[in-house]
Amino acid sequence: MAKEGELFRKTIARWRSDPVAFVRDNFKVEPDEWQVDALRAFADPSIPRMSLQACAGPGKSALLAWCGWYFLSCFGEPGDHPKGLAVAITNDNLRANLWPEFAKWQQRSPYLKEYFEWTSERIYAKQHKATWFLEARSWPKTANAEEQGKTISGLHGGYVLVLVDESGAIPATVGRAAEQALATKVKFGKVMQAGNPLVRDGMLGEAASRR
């Protein structure tokens, strides 16, 4: 058992240092070149914010799901587990696209199926249901920018992640609310968004023009 535990720790350490290996080992796919670059940037703790800007279809949602699973699998420590949120432009969009993408990739990985549970509301570590999770959140269709921002406020810890899909038309104030998770002394914190750059004053547009 001791040898098995040591092998497990070494595997996690190898994945943490090489997110591309994590994807290859668990999902049996070869990422595109741009996905390799994004995976490596995601693993870099000195890069707290990432935005993926592209047309529909190149694999943005797949990459968000890979990064979410990588985060849940490779970060955290006793007493400080990884915590994350996932949102999209609408609840329907989240339920139809990004959230089932997590389920799809989990089914390819014996490791993820053994240690994590996917539900319609959250993904959690089976041994730490309340403290080790990625949660699907949404806002009412009538919500204004302030109300949308409150939906993703309140995430704190040493290891935090906010994933935002289809962020092209999401108000920039929502992105600023997401960054509250990075305000405390995090050991690994990331706000990652993806979408089509539809408007200049949205969350994605602000990220594209930030200097």
Q: What is the pLDDT of residues 91-111, one digit of tens each?
A: 899 999 999 999 999 999 999
- pLDDT (0 to 100) of residue 3: 43
Per-residue pLDDT band at 1 (split at 50, 70, 90): very low
Instruction: Looking at mean pLDDT, say which of 70-74, 86-90, 190-194 comes out highest.
Output: 70-74
Section 129-146 average pLDDT: 84
The whole-angstrom separation of Cα 174 and Cα 17 is 31
Positive/negative CA dihedral, 162, 58, 92, 167? positive
Q: What is the pLDDT of residues 154-167, one digit of tens each?
A: 788 899 999 999 88
Q: Give me the chain's average pLDDT, please.
A: 87
- pLDDT (0 to 100) of residue 208: 66
Is it the case that residue 68 has pLDDT exceeding 80?
yes
- pLDDT (0 to 100) of residue 135: 96
- pLDDT (0 to 100) of residue 2: 41
Closest CA to 73 of 2, 38, 125, 150: 125
Is it the case that residue 38 has pLDDT exceeding 90?
yes
Q: How far apart are the first and last CA of the chain?
A: 51
Which residues have CB under 8 Å from 188's CB, separation 6+?
Answer: 45, 71, 75, 158, 159, 160
- pLDDT (0 to 100) of residue 210: 62
Per-residue pLDDT band at 86 (split at 50, 70, 90): very high
